[in-house]
Amino acid sequence: MGPIALAFVSVLAVSAVSLAGLLTLSMSEVRVRRLAAFFVSFAVGALLGDTFIHLVPEIFARARGHDALRQSLLILGGILLFFVVEKLLLHQHGVLHRHHHREALQRPELAAVNVLGDAIHNYIDGLLIGASWLVSPELGISTTIAVLLHEIPQELGDFGILVHSGLTIRRAVLLNAGSAAVAILGTATAVLAGSIAHERVTELLVPITAGGFVYIAAADLIPELQHDRSLRALLIQTALISGGIAVMALLTFVG
């Protein structure tokens, strides 16, 4: 199976995570939050591990002389890009703004707001997966795992928001699955662009992917872990972050 086919298999697997919310229906809210926290911790390690063990070495192995400066700027540009995109989405007129206002939970438009914001996020994930598979199987596998792990807690939360906004479980599942499927369009975009100018696309998207992963881990996920300041949480989170890094390190032996 070629890299393009594997890219689409990977993004389909990631999109299937949108059904994870169904598994939480019989669980208490406390248990769901604890489970999500475990995934967040592991995802931090996986994202940072993929960035610094796989993506960054690949980026600079391809860089030649002065190209190293350009690649460094692209990585930093990726961090800045994700910062700008998130700020725009969270702006008072942005599609994710009401996520941070408790009174919005009773508004019927919340479902549409949630689905639109999630669709944008998933499209970017699809781009990252597609670009990684175009570079190498190792990068494709590691990036898919990293995306998958940070998608699980997000999809659990999105499903809960849709149900609490008044949707039936069936409709919430369908909308969440539809939003997740947008990632396939992202992968198709990366593959199409790569077929036209493979080297240029990978040289651009892989550093941006690295910067994006650093931003997601440092700006979005790690702050979530800081809410529980107990020693027990510190030990568990450190172990899970280390586990995520270890998985990425072990993947260097793939292929």
**Which residues, 6+ apart, have CB-to-CB distance to 129 below 8 Å?**
7, 10, 11, 14, 140, 143, 144, 147, 183, 186, 187, 190
- pLDDT for residue 101 is more than 70: no
In the prediction, which pLDDT does 174 show? 83
Mean pLDDT, residues 12-18 taken together: 87
The rounded distance, in Å, linking the Cα atoms of 54 and 248 is: 8
- pLDDT for residue 95 is more than 70: no
130-156 pLDDT, tens digit per residue, is 988 988 888 899 989 988 887 777 777
Q: What torsion, rounded to 10 degrees, do the Cα atoms 132, 133, 136, 138 define?
A: 80
In 3D space, the residue among 255, 10, 37, 1 whose CA is nearest the CA of residue 144 turns out to be 10
- Per the model's pLDDT, the better-predicted residue between 20 and 47 turns out to be 47
In the prediction, which pLDDT does 53 show? 92
In the prediction, which pLDDT does 7 show? 93
- pLDDT for residue 198 is more than 80: no
CB 225 within 8 A of CB 37: yes
> Cα–Cα distances in Å, from 8 out to 30, 83, 158, 222?
35, 27, 23, 29
Q: Tell me, letter by letter, the H, E, C secondary structure of the chain.
A: CCHHHHHHHHHHHHHHHHHHHHHHCCCCHHHHHHHHHHHHHHHHHHHHHHHHHHHHHHHHHHCCCCHHHHHHHHHHHHHHHHHHHHHHHHCCCCCCHHHHCHHHHHCCCHHHHHHHHHHHHHHHHHHHHHHHHHHCHHHHHHHHHHHHHHHHHHHHHHHHHHHHCCCCHHHHHHHHHHHHHHHHHHHHHHHHHHHHCHHHHHHHHHHHHHHHHHHHHHHHHHHHHCCCCCHHHHHHHHHHHHHHHHHHHHHHHCC
In the prediction, which pLDDT does 98 show? 47
- pLDDT for residue 89 is more than 80: no
Burial bucket for residue 98 (CB in 10 Å: 0-12, 13-18, 19+):
buried
The rounded distance, in Å, linking the Cα atoms of 255 and 252 is: 8
CA within 13 Å, CB half, 209:
36
% of residues, the chain, pLDDT over 90: 24
Mean pLDDT, residues 217-224 taken together: 87
